[in-house]
Each structure stands twice: as structure tokens, then as C-alpha cells.
Amino acid sequence: MKAVVRAYGEVLRLVRLLPPQTRSYYSRYARENFVAYADEHDPAAIRDLLRRAYDHSCWVLNKYGADEAAAKNLSQIFEEN
């Protein structure tokens, strides 16, 4: 559970790197997705969700020209689990 909370915080930090007009959409999108899977307790499913969060974050960063390397902390959270 700690990894999920850390991942959520990291995703919100990454949202700050996006253009101002997109931040509210992506922060709301992240919250909705983390809340939707809040009842998940299966470690394999959580690992998969963390991987998807990392992959999607990289895609969004690339879409807006932000440096994908900023997602390094999120990648580390995924790799720890």
C-alpha cells in the first residue's frame, strides 16, 4: 500500500511538469484511476497497475515534450515491487 501512495504522489509531481492548461485534467485523471483500484490487494495486480501508471506517465510526458527521465522515481517504485 505504501508503494501505491508513493506512486500517486510521484504522478502528481509529474503532472506539474505538464503545460498549465492540462494539469487539472491529468491530476483528476490520476486521482480517478488510483481511487478506482483502491480495493486491489493482489500483489501481482498492484505491480501491473504500477507498471501501467509508469508507462502512461511516460507517454503523457512525451506527448507534451517533457523529459521522460523525470519519471525515474516512479520507475523505481515499480521496480521495488
Quote the DSSP letter at residue 21. Answer: H
Cell of 37: 483500484
Q: So where are the chain's domains?
A: 2-80
pLDDT tens, N- to C-terminus, the chain (81 residues): 788 999 999 999 999 999 999 999 999 999 999 999 999 999 999 999 999 999 999 999 999 999 888 888 888 887 887
**Ramachandran region, residue 65 (left: φ > 0; alpha: ψ -120 to 50; beta: rest):** left
Give the C-alpha separation, 54 to 75, whole Å.
6
Q: What integer pLDDT is reported at residue 24 of this predicted model?
A: 97
Q: What integer pLDDT is reported at residue 79 of this predicted model?
A: 81
Check: CB of residue 18 under 8 Å from CB of residue 26: yes
